[in-house]
Chain A
Amino acid sequence: MIREISFIKAVREAFQEEMRRDQNVIVIGEDVRAGIFATTSGLVNEFGKKRVLNTPICESTFIGVGVGAAMANLRPIVQIMFSDFLYMAMEMVANQAGQWHYLSDGKLKVPMVIEAPSGARGGAGYGHSQSIEASFMYPPGLKVVVPSNPYDAKGLFKSAVRDDNPVLFFEHRHLLTMKGKVPEEEYLIPLGKAKVYREGSDCTVVAVGRMVHEANDAAYILSKDGINIEIIDPRTLVPLDEETIFQSLKKTCHLVIVEEGRKRSGFGAELGALAAEKWFEYLDAPIKRVAAPSLPIPYSPKLEKAIIPDSHSIAEAIRKTLIGE
Chain B
Amino acid sequence: MTISNEILITLFRKMVMVRHLEKRLEGLIFEARVPCSGHFGLGQEAVGVGVASALAASDYIFGTHRGFAEYIGKGLTAKEILCEYYGKATSLSRGRLGQHLLKIEIGIMPLPSSLGSEFGMAVGTALSSALLGTKQVTLNLFGEGTASQPDFYASLEMAALWKVPLIFACNNNQYVELDSHSNISTSLDVALRAQPFGIPFEIVDGNDISLVWEATSRAVEKARNGEGPTLLEFKTYRRSTHYTGDPGGYQDSKEIAEWSKKDPIDRCRAKLYKQGALNEEQEKKIIEEVDSEIEEAIQFAEDSPYPASDTAFTGLYA
Chain A interfacial positions (CB closer than 8 Å to B):
24, 26, 50-51, 53, 55-56, 58, 60-74, 76, 91-92, 95-96, 100-111, 140-141, 143, 164-165
Contact = CB atoms under 8 A, between A and B. Distances in A.
B315 interface: yes
Contacts of A140: 316
- Quick one: which of A64, A68, A76, A104 has the most chain B CB within 10 A? A68
21 contacts: A26-B131, A50-B131, A56-B154, A58-B151, A58-B154, A60-B154, A61-B150, A65-B158, A67-B120, A68-B125, A68-B127, A68-B128, A74-B127, A74-B132, A102-B316, A104-B96, A106-B315, A108-B104, A141-B317, A143-B317, A164-B318
Give the interface residue-count category, chain B.
35 or more
B93 A69 contact: no
B124 A70 contact: yes
A64 B97 contact: no
Interface string B89-117: 00011101100101011000110111001
A105 B120 CA distance: 22
Contacts of B122: 68
A72 B124 contact: yes
Contact of A101 (B131, B154, B318): B318
Given A72-B60, A109-B318, A67 B124 contact: yes
Contacts of A61: 119-120, 123, 150-151, 154-155, 158
A141 B117 CA distance: 18
B128 A62 contact: no
B317 A101 contact: yes
Nearest to A111: B318
A73 B128 contact: yes
Contacts of A71: 109-110, 121, 124-125
B210 interface: no
A64 B318 contact: no
Contacts of B102: 103-104, 107-108
- Quick one: which of B96, B120, B153 has the most chain A CB within 10 A? B120
B138 to A, nearest CB: 8
Given A64-B117, A141-B316, A73 B132 contact: yes
Contacts of A104: 93, 96-97, 102, 104, 110
Contacts of A100: 110
Contacts of A111: 318
